[in-house]
Each structure stands twice: as C-alpha cells, then as structure tokens.
Amino acid sequence: MIRLHNVTWRHASQIRGRRGETLSALPAISFSVAQGEFRWLLGPSGAGKSSLLRLLHLEALPVSGQLELLGTDITPGTTRSVLARLRQRIGMVHQDFRLMPTLSVADNVALPLRLQRRHEADVVTEVDAILNWVGLTTRKNARPVELSGGEQQRTAIARAVIARPDLVLADEPTNALEESQANRVIGMLRDIAAMGTSVIVATHNDALVRRFPAPALRLNHGRLINDE
C-alpha cells in the first residue's frame, strides 16, 4: 500500500523564491494506491510526473506531510538502511533506460539479484526465465548499444521486475516505441500488476491510455486534479 497525505516534496536543487519561500515540485499531494493496482500517471509536460515517481522512489524525503510506502511510515528519522531496503522492493524503469553500457543484456538484468547477493545459480535461472518472458533470450549476450529501442526498453523492464518488487514505477516506458511494441510493454506491466505488484506508469500517450483503460492520477502544476 502507498498512502500520501498532504505530502510536499521538492528536488534537492529547487531554490528559494524572492520572498524566501521555497519552490516545491509537488505541494501537498494526497492519494493512495493499493497492492496490485495499475495506475496511469498523466499530465502535461512539467506537471510533475517524473517528480512524483522520484518521490515514490525515495530520492529525497518529503518536506512535510505523511508518506506510507509498502507498510513503512517514512519520517525525517527513517534511517538510510531502512530506505535502502525499501528501495530494493521498488523497480524503476527510467525514461532513458539507464542500462550499463559495458554489461550484456543478461548482466544488466541480473544486477538487482547480484546486489541482493543471491546465489549465482539462482541468478542464472531467474535471468533466463525473465528474458524468455520479455522475448530477449536470443539477445542475452548483446550490449545495450546493439539493441533496438524496444529491446532496450524490455531489458529495462526485465531489470526492474526481476527481484519481484512490490512496486514498479515506469517513466514514459513507451516513449519512441511503435504501437505494437508499446502495447507489448504495457501488456507486460499489466501482467506484473495482476501478479500483485503495484504499478504506476507515467505517460503522455493518450491513445495508449485509451487502449488500456485503468484508473489515473492526473497532475497539473504539481497538483493532483483527480484520483479516480
């Protein structure tokens, strides 16, 4: 469960205005998302979609308000090790993929499991299974630079979900993909939600949202204008 009540959040680099008040990417936002729910995150450019994903990925702590993430109340006193453990339960799909250029597809996807120091035999089994699921078995030894946009995107999704996270956050995961690839990516994220992971997907793509109807969080100027 994710629950925000009047959470104000700002980027570390956000600056003070002329009267001394500090700008906030997200002023006083409230909503909740249940386990296993799929939510769109919508709004025009600059509305705060990426900021909200960064808040939920615990890149910086809220300035004020109450945040409950995956059963943990986040407070100014929450320790780094608690935050790190929570982050391990969250899979993030970045807009620009952020694959490691020197690693193969299989080694990129294996990273979260290796960070958890899982046995190598388990890592190999899990990576093979997830690459089969995303249709990249034949590309497992390729480097990111050799992949198409869709293949890079599916590698990023495989990496985000391999450790069976409780929450997946995806920032424009279908940007620059043709319609059939975009459908495939969203279909995979819907399947992950059906297996019990909460999934939040930021997008500009109205046609995609129409093809996959689901409740949406709509942002404008950092404020939630609905929570349906």
Ligand X SMILES: Nc1ncnc2c1ncn2[C@@H]1O[C@H](COP(=O)(O)OP(=O)(O)OP(=O)(O)O)[C@@H](O)[C@H]1O
Nearest approach in angstroms of CB 218 to ligand X is 11
Between residues 51 and 174, which has the closer beta carbon with respect to ligand X?
Answer: 51
- Give the distance, in angstroms, between the CA of residue 28 and the centroid of all CA atoms in the same chain: 21
Nearest approach in angstroms of CB 66 to ligand X is 21
Beta strands in 122-211 (DSSP E): 167-171, 198-202
Between residues 118 and 223, which has the closer beta carbon with respect to ligand X?
Answer: 223
Residue 220 CA: distances (Å) to CA of 178, 205, 217: 27, 16, 10
Nearest approach in angstroms of CB 185 to ligand X is 17
Between residues 67 and 162, which has the closer beta carbon with respect to ligand X?
Answer: 67
Please state whether beta strands 64-69 and 72-74 pair in parallel, antiparallel, or not at all (unpaired). antiparallel
Nearest approach in angstroms of CB 172 to ligand X is 7
- Structure tokens, 94: 């970045």
* C-alpha dihedral (21, 23, 24, 27), degrees to nearest 10: 50
Nearest approach in angstroms of CB 219 to ligand X is 6
Between residues 25 and 105, which has the closer beta carbon with respect to ligand X?
Answer: 25
Asked if 110 and 123 count as a contact pair (C-beta separation under 8 A), the reply is yes
What span, in angstroms and rounded, lies between the C-alpha atoms of 120 and 110?
Answer: 10
Asked if 176 and 149 count as a contact pair (C-beta separation under 8 A), the reply is yes
Contacts with ligand X, residue ranges (CB under 6 A): 11, 13-14, 25, 43, 45-51, 204
Nearest approach in angstroms of CB 45 to ligand X is 3
Between residues 45 and 81, which has the closer beta carbon with respect to ligand X?
Answer: 45
What span, in angstroms and rounded, lies between the C-alpha atoms of 16 and 63?
Answer: 14
Beta strands in the chain (DSSP E): 2-9, 26-33, 38-42, 64-69, 72-74, 90-93, 167-171, 198-202, 216-220, 223-227
Between residues 143 and 223, which has the closer beta carbon with respect to ligand X?
Answer: 223
